[in-house]
Structure 1
Amino acid sequence: MSAALRHQLVTPEAYLASELKSPAKHEYVGGAVYAMAGAKNIHHIIAGNIFLSLGTRLRGKKCRLFNSDTKVRVRFPNHVRFYYPDVQVVCQPNPVDESFQDQPNVIVEVLSESTRRTDEGEKLDAYLTIPSLETYLLVDSTNKEVVVQQRDNTGFKRAVFVGDEGVIPLACLGFDLPLVEIYEGVQLPALEVVETE
């Protein structure tokens, strides 16, 4: 997210109506509206790979897959937020005439320089309050690494999966997601080498 577009607070209803007509996407946090930054091709390739892998496995099942054009609504006691996850799986979707989802089971964010801090902080804290959420994936776009927050009987547990051999269990959906599929055809940026004297 970038700086707030307006200083005055906007109602959720006004935000949703405006967003349907806007050529650019904006996120909404408690009345403040934020323009979303653009993403690099590597971000889109990774998100596309995840969408394809999940979509293939979900074919014929009741859960639905949504891309980054569908918002998720996060409700707090004193305010509401709307974010655009890169990918979300929803097993009890909202009506088709709405532009957001309330009950995602899996949320995926592909990390980039401009979004990493928000995805690992503000959005992590917000998403983990969603009662239906079972898994939150933070997918790195600079190396083959996925940080996974998965719910168990005691709350969310953090796990890290790396490399071509990594396989993420998605028990809530009944299948696994291999990292080799997430990063298929992805040319990762060369790591900067710092020389020491």
Structure 2
Amino acid sequence: MYASLLTHLRGSGCKTFIADMKVKIALAENGSDIFYYPDVMVTFDPQDTEKYYKSYPCLIVEVLSPSTQDLDRREKRLNYQSLGSLQEYVLVEQTEIKVAIYRRLEVGCWSGEILGKEDYLKLNSVGLTLTMTDIYDEVLIG
């Protein structure tokens, strides 16, 4: 997915990051911040100029593993969805061809969809559509 996004967004002003850039989430209730390292993140906000983290991603992708899937599906999803800039959050299964996508409909309102082997992942936030073959290219399932 990273390679597809990088190629698709080249020259657009969007920045694509893979696992080496943190996302910052300001927690309103206690005034502190939390940071995560998403597997893939895209930002196009001109305010996102910090060297070590980004605060305005439009797209975040997490690849689920047995040790992180509960964190990715619950805590991270809720915290990521608190980011006003985030338009889509994608969860990619490792052990089967299955992708979950959460899309912002309006402030505070999200929809979720589960995609399978024959479906297409349409990333509205960046104007890219991927097949499951595109996503799982060179990945051994089973």
TM-score in terms of structure 2 length:
0.92
Distance (whole Å) between structure 2 residues aligned to residue 180 and residue 132 of structure 1: 29
**Residue 115 of structure 2: aligned partner:** 161
The question of 1:51 aligning with 2:7 is answered no
Distance (whole Å) between structure 1 residues aligned to residue 128 and residue 74 of structure 2: 28
Distance (whole Å) between structure 1 residues aligned to residue 72 and residue 111 of structure 2: 17
**Going by fraction, where is helix more abundant, 1 or 2?**
1
**Residue 149 of structure 1: aligned partner:** 102
Q: Which amino acid aligns with 1:160?
A: I
Shift of 1:177: 2.2
**Percent identical:** 35
Q: Which amino acid aligns with 1:156?
A: W
**Residue 187 of structure 1: aligned partner:** 140
Q: Specify every segment of 5 or more residues in structure 1 that has no aligned partner in the other structure, as ranges.
A: 1-49, 190-197
Q: Specify every segment of 5 or more residues in structure 2 that has no aligned partner in the other structure, as ranges.
A: none
Shift of 1:145: 0.4
Shift of 1:175: 2.1
The question of 1:105 aligning with 2:66 is answered no
Aligned-residue Cα RMSD (Å) equals 1.3
Once the two structures are superposed, the pairs formed by residues 31-180 of structure 1 within 5 Å of their partners are 50-77=1-28, 78=30, 79-92=32-45, 94-95=48-49, 98-153=51-106, 155-163=109-117, 165-180=118-133
TM-score in terms of structure 1 length:
0.67
Shift of 1:51: 0.5
Shift of 1:153: 3.0
**Going by fraction, where is strand more abundant, 1 or 2?**
2
Distance (whole Å) between structure 1 residues aligned to residue 99 and residue 141 of structure 2: 14
Q: Which amino acid aligns with 2:83?
A: I
Matched residues, number: 138
Report Cα offsets for 1:114-172 as digits up to 9, x if no partner. Answer: 00010001101100000000000000000000000011136210001110x22111112
Q: Which amino acid aligns with 1:95?
A: T
Contact 1:166–1:180 (Cα < 8 Å) also in 2:
no
Question: Which runs of structure 1 show a deviation greater than 3 angstroms over 4 or more consecutive aligned residues?
Answer: none
Distance (whole Å) between structure 2 residues aligned to residue 152 and residue 125 of structure 1: 15
